[in-house]
Amino acid sequence: MAGHVLAVKDVFDTSDQPTSYGSPIYRDHRPAADAAVVAMLRSAGAVCLGKAVTAELACYHPGPTTNPHRATHTPGGSSMGSAAAVAAGMATIALGTQTGGSVIRPASFCGVYGFKPTFGTVTVAGMKPVAPSLDTVGWFATSAADVADVLGVVTGRAAPSVNVRPPTIALARTAQWEQADDDSRGAVMEAARRATAAGARVIDVQLPLLVDGLADRHPKLMAYEAARSLAWEYETHRDELSPDLQEMLSTGWAVPVDEIDAIRADAVAARAHAAEAFGDADVILTLGVAGEAPATLATTGDPRFARLWTLLGTPAVSVPGLSGSTGMPVGVQLVGRVGDDVRLLEVAGWLGARLTSSAGSGVTAERS
């Protein structure tokens, strides 16, 4: 990590810098310790530039960060400052978190790599929880190799191979396919086209019904867990929470636990089904976002395309290089098997090199 400049989403504790979790409740808060991932990266030589803006308590209410590509557009959320810091060249790596789509979406909107590892494999110590069965530490960088370097530091995993054989890619158009716009669908199809042209085998797959239907059930589980995880804030500082967050937590308190049990049980079953859906493919290629970053700073965009994979606990990465009809970045999402994070990053690096080349048509390569 020597030479790396690190930005830290402000939901990770830092002993030497304020940590406000994107909430006025914590405006003067200074934790006692560094979050474990911060400590590991610093110990490995990274220099901590500072804290990066997060949406309120890692949920939806945006902070002031703008998109480095166009200041009228959201950078996505909730890891908005982290993705923007890397996209703007302020930091070489940046820590984020994903509970719904908080890494994949801002990575796509800002045109950088955004990675969430297999659930449960990177310690959450010192991270402010939202929904512990979904909360995943993730990070941003401008190359898959840098992403993998961070993974090595925090888990001990080996570096991916740089000489990668053309992969087998399962193209999953999922039940949400029609909910994305032409820019996002076009980016996925363009990525498939370029991968094929570069020697990859791309096969269409249909996700099992149980898997495909899970995405829509994620918000209920997140709200149930967030209500309980933010009980102190809700009980003692409710008027300092945004109306949006108050409503989500109120919704979460009203969800019967039987429904939560059913979602959790189906998620366990779906994990086994999803493993089968890979067939002999190395990764699944699918939508990461609805399209380009929306032209607003009032919301952080739609997380729905990342939710399924967060709930399944699979590793996922947003691969940059393509752009949409107005020239803003549009990432594509690659998903790996549980535990197969290194292979996923190998393929992400391989595909990313094809997407940043100038051979684009239909969907254009990103201008930078």
Residue type, 241: L
Give the C-alpha separation, 36 to 118, whole Å.
Answer: 17
Give the C-alpha separation, 290 to 181, whole Å.
Answer: 6
Known catalytic residue at 9: yes
Of 70, 193, 228, 273, which one interacts with a copy of itself (CB under 8 A)? 228
Q: Which of 102, 108, 184, 242 is catalytic?
A: 102
Known catalytic residue at 116: no
Q: Interacting stretch for a copy of itself, rule CB under 8 A, among 68-76, 191-199, 229-237, 282-290?
A: 229-237
Cross-strand bridge partners of residue 323 = 329
Q: Which of residues 136-195 bind a copy of itself (CB under 8 A)?
A: 154-157
Q: Are 117 and 346 in contact (CB under 8 A)?
A: no
Give least dist CB 189 to a copy of itself, A.
34
Nearer to a copy of itself, 154 or 355 (CB): 154
Report how far apart, in Å, the C-alpha atoms of 285 and of each of 7, 40, 54, 161, 334 are: 28, 31, 28, 20, 5
Give least dist CB 255 to a copy of itself, A.
8
Q: Which of residues 80-139 bind a copy of itself (CB under 8 A)?
A: 120-126, 128-129, 132-133
Known catalytic residue at 102: yes
Three-class SS of 122-135: CCCCCECCCCCCCC
Give the C-alpha separation, 93 to 18, whole Å.
Answer: 20
Q: Interacting stretch for a copy of itself, rule CB under 8 A, among 65-73, 177-185, 238-246, 258-266?
A: 258-266
- For the sheet with 316-323, list strands across it: 47-52, 5-9, 93-98, 136-141, 113-116, 316-323, 329-335, 283-286, 168-172, 201-205
Nearer to a copy of itself, 30 or 367 (CB): 30
Residues at the contact surface with a copy of itself, assessed by CB under 8 A? 15, 25-26, 29, 32-40, 42-43, 120-126, 128-129, 132-133, 154-157, 225, 228-233, 235-236, 256-257, 261, 264-265, 339
List, by residue number, the catalytic residues: 9, 78, 102
